[in-house]
């Protein structure tokens, strides 16, 4: 049967807030989980992913997990290790212990951020391109994908790892014209990832059907995802303000954008 009750980790964040608004229309009953309390969610679980017992209790009784919680930008290795690597491990252990059979994992384009972005008639980036994380943050998403594969192979827990592009109400950069996922398409994709049968561990790119798309949405569509939005209506204004992407600028040459060129965060 399709999952009904869903633990939403990272519910207080930008994407979590969008999904709290959009996913209930698909029939889900959400259990929000975050470090930060939410004024409009008095029943939310307010806890740290580092607290294994709290994570296990939060997972108890749900049909599926949408795992968004974690550090969502580059940070020191120590912080990423705690929140994203150990935290995601705690989510999977809790799923195993409590018998939850489906996870949707918020991976990121930054797991493959060093992959050159296509230009001109170049083919779209395939889903099986070797991973090339652009940050410790991207490395943690690469680890999360491996963890998901491991829990499928070892324990039969299914995951869809969604390499999200940029999910915000509107695209705000020329790069985002290529990787933007409208919130409505994000909810459609998460719904497909929660309900598709026999996913094992599937990896998909997460974006709308953008005219300037850089990557291949075939595996996302195979889940039943049918994107309806396109960033193109925002293109003229953003290009007028920011100019076209310059292939000689290293921050414009690869999928991960400025994550590729930003100075590392110390201490390591
Ligand atoms: P965000 O930073 O707005 O939200 C993350 C949430 O996780 C925050 O509310 C934070 O309090 C919570 N959190 C962090 N550490 C925690 C911990 N140890 N225990 C419990 N909660 C913790 O990020 P956003 O944009 O909402 O992203 C959500 C997820 O999607 C993240 O995993 C991010 O890496 C991923 N993602 C998002 C993209 C986007 O375009 N918004 C693109 C690619 C990936
Ligand atoms: C991400 O992984 C981040 O979580 C999000 O804040 C954006 O920076 C996004 O990637 C992006 O690449 O635009």
Q: How many CB atoms lie within 10 A of CB 20?
A: 18
| Residue in 28, 92, 137, 225 annotated catalytic | 137
Q: Whose CA is nearest to atom 13 of ligand 2?
A: 166
- Per the annotation, the verdict on 137 as an active-site residue is yes
Which tokens belong to 104?
Answer: 């949707």
Q: Whose CA is nearest to atom 4 of ligand 2?
A: 72
Indicate which atom in ligand 2 lies nearest the CA of residue 257. Answer: 12
For each of the domains in the chain, give its residue range(s) and CATH number, in order of start: 5-260 (3.40.50.720)
Residue corresponding to tokens 């309390």: 37
Site to probe by mutation for ligand 2, drawn from 18, 109, 171 as the one with most ligand atoms within 8 Å of Cβ, is 109
Ligand 2 centroid, distance to 176 Cα (angstroms): 10
Residue 73 CB less than 6 A away from ligand 1: no
Instruction: Report phi then psi at 71, rounded to 5.
Output: -80, 130
For position 135, what pLDDT does the model report?
97
3-state secondary structure of 250: helix
For position 268, what pLDDT does the model report?
57
Ligand 2 centroid, distance to 119 Cα (angstroms): 21
Global ipTM: 0.99
Residue pLDDT tens, the chain, 268 long: 788 999 999 999 999 999 999 999 999 999 999 999 999 999 999 999 999 999 999 999 999 999 999 999 999 999 999 999 999 999 999 999 999 999 999 999 999 999 999 999 999 999 999 999 999 999 999 999 999 999 999 999 999 999 999 999 999 999 999 999 999 999 999 999 999 999 999 999 999 999 999 999 999 999 999 999 999 999 999 999 999 999 899 999 999 999 999 988 877 5
For position 266, what pLDDT does the model report?
73
For position 103, what pLDDT does the model report?
98
Dmax of the chain from CA atoms? 53
Ligand 2 environment, Cβ below 6 A: 72-73, 108-110, 166
Angle between helices 136-155 and 87-98 (to 10 degrees): 20
Report the DSSP beta bridge partners of residue 202. 160
Ligand 1 centroid, distance to 143 Cα (angstroms): 16
Q: If we measure between CA atoms, which residue out of 129, 142, 158 comes closest to residue 65?
A: 158
């Amino acid at each position: 049967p399709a999952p009904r009750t869903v633990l939403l980790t990272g519910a207080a964040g930008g994407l979590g807030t969008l999904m709290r608004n959009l996913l209930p229309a698909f029939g889900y009953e959400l259990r929000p989980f975050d470090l930060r309390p939410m004024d409009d969610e008095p029943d939310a679980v307010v806890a740290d992913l580092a607290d294994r017992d709290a994570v296990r209790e939060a997972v108890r009784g749900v049909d599926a997990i949408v795992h968004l919680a974690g550090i969502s930008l580059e940070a020191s290795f120590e912080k990423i290790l705690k929140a994203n690597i150990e935290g995601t491990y705690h989510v999977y252990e809790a799923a195993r212990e409590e018998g939850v059979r489906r996870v949707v994992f918020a991976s990121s384009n930054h797991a493959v951020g060093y992959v050159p972005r296509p230009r001109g008639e170049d083919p779209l980036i395939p889903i099986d391109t070797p991973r090339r994380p652009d940050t410790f943050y991207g490395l943690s998403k690469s680890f999360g994908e491996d963890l998901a594969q491991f829990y499928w192979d070892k324990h039969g827990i299914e995951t869809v790892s969604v390499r999200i592009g940029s999910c915000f109400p509107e695209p705000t950069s020329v790069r985002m014209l290529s990787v933007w996922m409208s919130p409505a398409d994000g909810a459609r994709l998460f719904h497909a990832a929660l309900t598709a049968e026999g996913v094992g561990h599937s990896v998909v790119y997460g974006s709308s059907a953008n005219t300037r798309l850089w990557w291949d949405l075939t595996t996302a569509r195979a889940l039943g995802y049918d994107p309806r939005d396109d960033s193109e209506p925002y293109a003229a204004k953003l290009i007028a303000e920011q100019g076209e992407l310059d292939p000689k600028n290293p921050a414009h040459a690869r999928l991960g954008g400025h994550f590729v060129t930003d100075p590392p965060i110390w201490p390591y």
